[in-house]
Chain A
Amino acid sequence: MGASHPRSEQHQYHELMAKTGFSLEQIKNLHIRFQHLSGNEETIRRKHLSSIPALANNPIKKEIIEAFFDKRNQHENETGSFEEIGFEQFLMVMSHFRPPTLRTKDEEREALRKEKLHFLFNMHDTDSDGIITLEEYRKVVEELLSKSGNIGQEAARAIADAAMLEVASTNAPDMGPDDFYEGITFEHFEQMLQNLELESRMHIRFLDVKTTTMHCGKATM
């Protein structure tokens, strides 16, 4: 990226700014990172993200990578997943992690929170049916504990079951013995996590200053 940007790129950036809410500096930095990851190609595939060395220790690495390729996160009412994504899609996924500013009004905060909740929900709901079933939830907990060896695996089921039971008891307290609780819907999910204040917690600092990648950045919004 040199000092002279072709006109179309500038234009594209402004479009992206409007769509995702990032600042120009942030978009530029993320584009640099994108190109670094993709090896200067136009699109990124799963293998590019998998090869990031730092991600190797992450227990939910697969889910994170999947989230980038999930069509639901592009907010265009499609389901399914991409094989490869361009910079715009990359940016859309990243935009879920923007923090609120001091000037964010309450309704905007609500919307931001819902957006982040949807992102989390989509990460758990792998079959896109709008419900997190017991199997899917078990998988989530198993993945979380996957780096902890045998102890983790055996306890994961119990924990997932207990967690599911808790959601069921809070949201459908009067089920008869023969009823079946299908799974966690988005409303139940929202209610379950209402105390976590997602809009302030689920964010990362995006770099404003131009630094080369792999640098510890002092960041402001």
Chain B
Amino acid sequence: MPSRTGARSSRSRPELGLLLLGMFVLLGGSLVPLGAASSADAAGGSTGKDAECNKTKTEHNITKKAFPVLSLEYGHVKVPFEISLWVLLASLMKLGFHLIPRLSGIVPESCLLISVGLLVGLLIKLAGEDVPPVLDSKLFFLCLLPPIILDAGYFLPIRPFMENLGTILMFAVVGTLWNAFFVGGLLFAACQIPQAGLSDVGILPCLLFGSIISAVDPVAVLAVFEEIHINELLHILVFGESLLNDAVTVVLYHLFEEFSLVGSVTVLDGFLGVISFLVVALGGVLVGAIYGFLASFTSRFTSHTRVIEPLFVFVYSYMAYLSAEVFHLSGIMALIACGAVMRPYVEANISHKSHTTIKYFLKMWSSVSETLIFIFLGVATVDGKHKWNWTFVTSTVILCLVARVIGVVSLTFVINKFRIVKLTTKDQFIIAYGGLRGAIAFSLGYLLDCRHFPRDMFLTAIITVIFFTVFVQGMTIKPLVDLLAVKKKQEAKRSINEEIHTQFLDHLLTGIEDICGHYGHHHWKDKLNRFNKKYVKKFLIVGERSKEPQLIAFYHKMEMKHAIQMVESGSRLPSAMPSTVSMQNIQPKIPPALPKPAERALPQLRKGREEEIRKILRSNLQRTRQRLHSYNRHTLVADPFEDGLNEFLLKKQKMIELDKKIKEMTTYLTVPAAAADSPTMSRARLASGRHTDFIPAHQQKGKPSDPQSYHVRPTADGVPSIQVDLASPDSPDSVKLLDEFRQAEKQEQDEDQGLMMRPPSSGPNKPGGKDEAKEQQKLMRCLSDPGPGADEDEDEDEPFLP
């Protein structure tokens, strides 16, 4: 892929502009709503300063005071200080809950956080201060909600979501509409009861209220469902519904708000409302998709500036959200679409570290946001000017529940006619019970104009419903799930076999559909995949990875995970390999004509010895790593696992092309070399990490090597693979082991010697270059080396035995 450097610099300027704009918006958004008083202060201060400037010319006689050694000035840090305090409070609360062992099992976190909020609000009120308008809609919608939604969208499991999309849409659109009209309508009827004193509430405000209260809230659903671990299907149904009903809510809200002022609705307006819904929903998705593609395209060029990769993900997503909000499109759907679209491409382009960073930042922000939202709910409850009306509130609560149940049951009846995996009664119950309301409803209510609507009464009712759903439903759903024996989430990680067969099934079903002659959804999915592979991936993914089939990408990821696990776990055996099975158990039997002394040698190593060796190696490795880190804020230290791995793999690819000429591979095991950290190596690890190149018989001129000595061949492209464990007297896994480990003992005694590491930029983990003790080098490789580097190939051509 040719790099167009000229185009790159010109492309960076608009991006820079976008970046700065994003930053300003973020800053502005976070500072504006917090504390109206502080802005008054600042305004006063600035004009004051200007006035002062004009005055100082005339006043010269300022009395001299002692120079203030320690002074107190709170005003100018007030706003950031308070924000930080809130965030700190939220985080400490989160910590605290998990320290109390029993509590987090019984009470869901959301309830505890609301209670804390109530407490804090009470305290502030008792202290006589004004409770800050914390759940101000601007703060909520611009700062607190986006991280949660982005986190949900980026990690959305696409496959189950797409498979159940029809069901989810039915629940989200039809279900929400039903809820809104049912609640609004019956509430209006309830208002007509003369004793209630609510006869002045018109039908349209009631419908507006209905539309606000009927939407299932993603924040609350996430918070509660996260702890109950139900199976994937139910989780994605309820959660998907809570995300997609945003479009409906937005349209209904604006519709009824507009028309409440006018006072009447015509059929035309209803029709326009439907069109508006389509525009809002599809427009939101489109905006999100556009930004998603932009982000993917940008990530294609970040190979030299890895540090800011996560920033692109965040900023583009936030921009998608804001852009959608500009046009009154559904910001939530834009955010989901952006995250879901960009993820496969961005993940193929960015470094592993950036991926981890994105994951952790998203989790961190969404966690803090969620905590803050619940605390603020509590505070706002205390603070709000409430107007309690028994009829209104109780009928709201009851109607919400009833509407939800009726809606779910009837919709499921219809949906089951089209589904293959039908929804059972248990499923329906959980879906209905999981319809929690949350802070979005509150914020929408807060936005209402109090001159036209009985806002306080609405807010009271909304808060009551929220409290009811979160406390009662949230607390009881876990025992109910256990009681009803609803299927839980399966914890097992996906294995390579499952992945192979999932792909196989996909192709098989597509083929059968083609034979049957009708274009079912497998056919279209297949078409989409092929289009994706042929055009889109080439455009958005950098380099070789654009051609990587999904199976290989999966395998690569798995091996990488194992590798990292191995290095991190150090002394523990990775649990992935509890068995003693290794490659040789699977390979067809080689004629057993050769003695295998190496096999006998292996069991001689006791566990304790193994421990010692590994400890030595690890400590030396760590020391040399520390020596190399020169601190530089702007660059990441080259990670040998990262960039080195890619270089190394490219080199190996070249080598395999050379080796291809060697024909006599059939007698010898030709499985390519393993990364030292793949699971199978955990058994061969003892032998030594040293890889020798394969030298077939006819090339071994003058080298006293046994024709059976195996030579692990370098692998092709990006697939670290398995090492063969066959051994012969000449192979590295030979008796010389004992010599090596005696050396290790010596090494224990002179720790200062340590091992020199070449600077990582010169290649992958290449410990000990110029060291005379080659054995030490080999020992080092046991744990750290992903494979031989090019510089050492000439060394390795010599057989192990001197």
Using a CB–CB cutoff of 8 Å, the interface residues on chain A facing chain B are 30, 33, 36-37, 49, 52, 54-55, 57-61, 64, 68, 94, 97, 99, 101-102, 120, 123, 134, 140-141, 144-145, 148-149, 151-152, 154-155, 157-159, 161-170, 172-177, 179-181, 192-193, 195-196, 200-207, 211, 213-217, 219-221
Contact = CB atoms under 8 A, between A and B. Distances in A.
Contacts of B581: 165, 168-169, 172-173, 175, 181
Nearest to A203: B420
18 contacts: A58-B510, A58-B511, A59-B507, A60-B511, A64-B515, A134-B588, A151-B552, A154-B672, A154-B719, A158-B721, A163-B497, A164-B586, A166-B496, A172-B579, A173-B578, A203-B509, A214-B517, A219-B518
A144 B500 contact: yes
A145 B715 contact: no
Interface string B63-102: 0000000000000000000000000000000000000000
Interface in B502-519: 502-505, 507-519
B508 A60 contact: yes
Contacts of A163: 496-497, 500
- Say what secondary structure dominates the interface of chain A: helix
Interface stretch (B283-291, B298-306, B543-551): B543-551
Contacts of A181: 581, 585-586
Interface in B554-572: 555
B501 A204 contact: no
A211 B490 CA distance: 41
Contacts of B721: 155, 157-158, 161-162
Given A159-B551, A165-B680, A216-B518, A177 B512 contact: no
B552 A155 contact: yes
Contacts of B577: 169
A122 B578 CA distance: 30
Contacts of B739: none
B582 to A, nearest CB: 8
B522 interface: yes
Instruction: Tell which of A54, A57, A159 has the most Cβ of chain B within 10 Å.
Output: A159
A216 B518 CA distance: 6
B552 A152 contact: yes
B555 A155 contact: yes
B579 A175 contact: yes
A154 B497 contact: no
Given A134-B586, A196-B498, 12 more contacts: A37-B517, A54-B523, A57-B526, A120-B501, A144-B504, A155-B717, A162-B496, A173-B581, A201-B505, A216-B518, A216-B520, A219-B520
Contacts of B672: 154, 157-158
A144 B507 contact: yes
Nearest to A200: B421
Contacts of A221: 420
B516 to A, nearest CB: 6
Contact of A58 (B497, B507, B548, B717): B507
A119 to B, nearest CB: 9
Given A175-B580, A196-B498, A213 B517 contact: yes
B552 A195 contact: no
Nearest to B492: A195
B387 to A, nearest CB: 48
B25 interface: no
A159 B555 contact: yes
A161 B656 contact: no
A41 B509 CA distance: 26
B523 A161 contact: no
Interface in B681-696: none
A175 B500 contact: no
Given A64-B511, A165-B586, A173 B496 contact: no
A157 B583 CA distance: 12
Nearest to B511: A64
Contacts of B582: 165, 177
Interface in B621-671: 656, 671
Nearest to A58: B511
B422 interface: yes
A64 B508 contact: yes
B580 A176 contact: yes
B530 A202 contact: no
Contacts of A193: 497-498, 501
B258 to A, nearest CB: 37
Nearest to B519: A216
A55 B672 CA distance: 33
Given A196-B502, A219-B520, A204 B513 contact: yes
B327 interface: no
Given A141-B500, A200-B421, A161 B583 contact: yes
B394 interface: no
B525 to A, nearest CB: 12
A204 B520 contact: yes
Contacts of B511: 55, 58, 60-61, 64
A177 B584 contact: yes
Contacts of B717: 151, 154-155
B495 interface: yes
Contacts of B522: 204
Contacts of A154: 656, 672, 715-717, 719
B605 to A, nearest CB: 14
A52 B514 CA distance: 8
A149 B548 CA distance: 10
